[in-house]
Amino acid sequence: MFTSSPLTGSKAEQYAALAAQARALLHGERDAIANAANLSALVYHALPDLNWVGFYLFDGTELVVGPFQGLPACVRIPLDKGVCGAAARTRQTQRIDDVHAFPGHIACDSASRSELVVPLYIGERLIGVFDIDSPVPARFDVEDQTGIESLAAAYLESMQ
Ligand code: SME
């Protein structure tokens, strides 16, 4: 059974502890769906003020919703649409303080106010994106971005 410990210390320390929990959780399993499901659940329950945590996986044409925690979401996102498409297309993490100010933002859960989307690449191969939404405006700062990118890296490492 997996037991998660409460996060304490500075934000950087908390993300370091969460990344260690993620690596322990994913250790020994390479299945992309299983690991996406467990990482979504871990993050959703570990971090405050989130309303959606999950994966969109690239099917060769567009992003298709994968394992997540939160309300039901839009199924397919073309690469030229939304915050998720922008992350996949530009290969840059999208940290959006106000989703309503982002041109082309796709509102899946109307509660979402800010969003962080990390692109998932193995070399040149697009795997998908890791998407986190918050009902709080500007929920994610640079430390959150670095921390969540390290969780995305743990996911990619687990598949290799
Ligand atoms: N807001 C995203 C769509 C996915 S939901 O947030 C779960 C976007 O604009 O790409």
Kindly list the distances between the CA atom of residue 72 and the CA atoms of 14, 80, 110, 123, 155, in Å, as whole numbers in the listed order. 29, 22, 11, 31, 22
Residue 70 CA: nearest ligand 1 atom is 7
- Give the tens place of pLDDT for each residue, 34-80: 999 999 999 999 999 999 999 999 999 999 999 999 999 999 999 99
Predicted pLDDT at 6:
82
Q: What is the pLDDT of residue 45?
A: 96
Secondary structure class of 3 (helix, strand, coil): coil
CB 147 within 8 A of CB 19: yes
Residue 129 Cα, ligand 1 centroid: separation in angstroms? 10
Q: Which domains does the chain have, with CATH numbers?
A: 11-158 (3.30.450.40)
Asked whether the CA dihedral 3, 18, 13, 47 is positive or negative, the reply is negative
Residues having CB closer than 6 A to ligand 1 are 52, 73, 77, 82-84, 105-106, 108, 112, 115, 131, 133
Q: Whose CA is nearest to atom 3 of ligand 1?
A: 106
Which has the closest alpha carbon to 160: 53, 27, 70, 14?
A: 27
pLDDT value for 1: 66
The pLDDT score that the predictor gives to residue 24 is 95
> Is residue 9 within 8 Å of residue 47, measured between CB atoms?
no
Question: Cα–Cα distance between 121 and 79 in angstroms, integer?
Answer: 14
Q: Please tell me the residue having the least CA distance from ligand 1 atom 2.
A: 106
C-alpha–C-alpha distance, residues 47 and 50, integer Å: 7
Q: How confident is the model at residue 5 (pLDDT cuts 50, 70, 90)?
A: confident
Atom of ligand 1 nearest to the CA of 77: 10
User: Using CA atoms, how far apart are residues 51 and 112, in angstroms rounded to an integer?
Assistant: 7
Instruction: Report, as an integer, the average pLDDT of 102-127.
Output: 95
